[in-house]
Structure 1
Amino acid sequence: MEHYEVIVLGLGSMGGAAAHALAGRGVRVLGLETFQPGHDQGAAHGGSRIIRQSYFEHPAYVPLLRRAYEGWHALQEESGRDIVTLCGGIYLGDERNQVFAGSRAAAQEHGLPHEVLTADEIRQRFPTMDPEDDALGLYEENAGYVRPEETTIANAELAAAKGAVLRFSEPVTWWGAVGGGVEVVTTQGRYGADRLVITPGPWAPEVLADLGLPLSIQRMVFHWFTPDFSAVPYESWSQERHPVYVEETHGNEQIYGFPMTDGPEGGFKLGFFRRGTPTTARTIDRQVYQEENAAMQVRARQLFPHLSGPVVQAKTCLYSVTPDEHFVIGPHPAHPQVSVACGFSGHGFKFVPVVGEILADLATTGRTGLPIELFDPRRAALQGV
């Protein structure tokens, strides 16, 4: 049986980053993955993911985001891949809504550069948008998007270049804590290690069944629509002039999206943030239905009245949502030699580099100096109390 210092189970976004970080520290690491790098079966696909720092979900995320930004720029430079684009971001809503108010609170608490724009100022600066008259927007220049497929491929390439052994198309069938170490069985072999990192994505309910985590695996849809360029020219929709955005005003259901990142034929991408339907990673319906596209376009035109053309494409992805929508990162409560990272609740991708660093810390020293108390696998929100 081959033996390693650390095995990483799952080489998607977080697992790939962990394998890369471990290999960079000279650790003898094995990575195991069911699919190929950059696959579209989980949550790390679709061409773009938002990165931002004025974090309305909770100000405690901001220090991790600052560290993640360092990692994003380092990954792009080291890999030579086109990964990071900072086109700015705007978070719109009525004054009491979490999207605007939470973004402003995080920016103020952490001294992040930002502007507060009125509805008229938003319309003037971004002519694609027509918000409610009483809406406000927090604009953050240091926001944009990253390329998820390029990210996972880059981490895999760099991990391998630094000595990691990566085995793709090799599903894991069993793992267990054995003595003070671990064993992992796949369709092709059995491996041993001192430590194990588990990053299962939407397969967490199966892979981490012993934890009984109250995760909701949700089928989500994102859409690309064609704008009316005769009303607002393409340049105003492009990443040279258009920010990423999140918007919810007077309870009209939160949406998020991107500028046109792939030219005038590529479509304008957006989606509902919390309109998911329960599913599993194995049984998800990958077809997107006409009524889903229609509902998205009706909602989108509340903010983008000229997003009137046909749908270019639509795709599904998977969210793994915790009851409090915070992540699950930390040592396995029953097996200290095992570290877990899952339940990223639809907003985890922007943290990929720092999560990889945290998991490498846990796997090598059993602790990390980065703030992860909010993500404790033993917290009350995960215990049904």
Structure 2
Amino acid sequence: MTPYSYIDTPDALERAVQRLATQPLLGIDTEAAGYHRYLDRISLVQISSREETVLIDPLALPDLDQLGAIVENDAIEKVFHDADFDLRILDRDLKLHVSHLFDTQIAAAFLGVRTLGLGAILEAVLGIVVPKAFQRADWAERPLTEGMKEYAATDTVHLPALRDVLRERLTAAGRLAWAEEEFVRRAQTRWTPPDTTDAFLKIKGARDLTRRALALLRELHAWRETVAAERDQAPFRVVMNEVLLLIAREAPTTAAALRGIKGLSPGLVGRRGDEILAAVERGLAVPDDDLPRFPRAERWERDPALEARGERLRDARNRIAESLDLDPGFVASRAALDDVARVRPTTADALAAVPGLRRWQVEVLGDELLRVLRAETP
């Protein structure tokens, strides 16, 4: 069992923040309810020092500004695992921005680890097996079960010790500065609203529909969003995408035909069947000239020389990654190498000026990339 304190009153929060703000290092994680709820929201904040673990309930504590004394304090190192989502929802929901970050996923990747889930890394590095039973739990549920609280506590209680081992190994490998550069970049992560324009077109399988069926899908998707918002339920829990596609293809116009749609529950047909049929009717009524279509893809001209240059750069990247026992895509993405191929820098300074290229990537790859580029320079 992992000992923890559950914080759900302002006084308890104030005392916990006062204690934690004196610590030099804290493990932090968050839980949200996006898998279950329409309105994804931060539903739990877990913080572990080397001495204690607290679970903070944002649903009971609407004002969490005090946490700024911890997460925005440069004197406190904050240890996250795969901080990307946590940083986004801390920014979105609490307007908090993390400083002095150590991300154990990034650290492990720099050590050549390929399986980067927290459970796998804890088992491989510390020999600790953590439970997985509540990975898809509804964290907006109240009261949380004791099992959920225990699971949440284990997400942070081992982070300080894991950080220590990973940092020591990075230092021994001469890669700590590389990881620290990525930590700083990761800490700049902010929430960006998703683009919901024509979201129905982003459903996998929509491209296989006729334009008439797309019109039905558009109406059905809009109906599902309305119901999901009304019920505060993730849209796929109202109706799966595959079922929406099937309705759009078959265009049922009667309750009997609707009941024949595979995957559509009788209960939903009974409660919402008229609404679904109305959505189908609206889609069938769209004039031919107004039927939706996928935007035309931008045309681009192939550049065989550019493609060959990019391939040579990737070969060089792959050789270096193999020598370092690192994943090639982690050492440098295809997109980054394509940018280098387009710019064609021939000096270290010019290579370092390629947008998005990290200092550590220039250090690791620079000589080989420049050798490839110089070899084709007349």
Normalised to the residue count of structure 2, the TM-score between the two structures is 0.21
Structure (1/2) with the larger helix percentage: 2
Which structure has the bigger radius of gyration? 2
Between the two structures, name the one with larger relative contact order (CA 8 Å, sep ≥ 6). Answer: 1
Normalised to the residue count of structure 1, the TM-score between the two structures is 0.21
Structure (1/2) with the larger strand percentage: 1
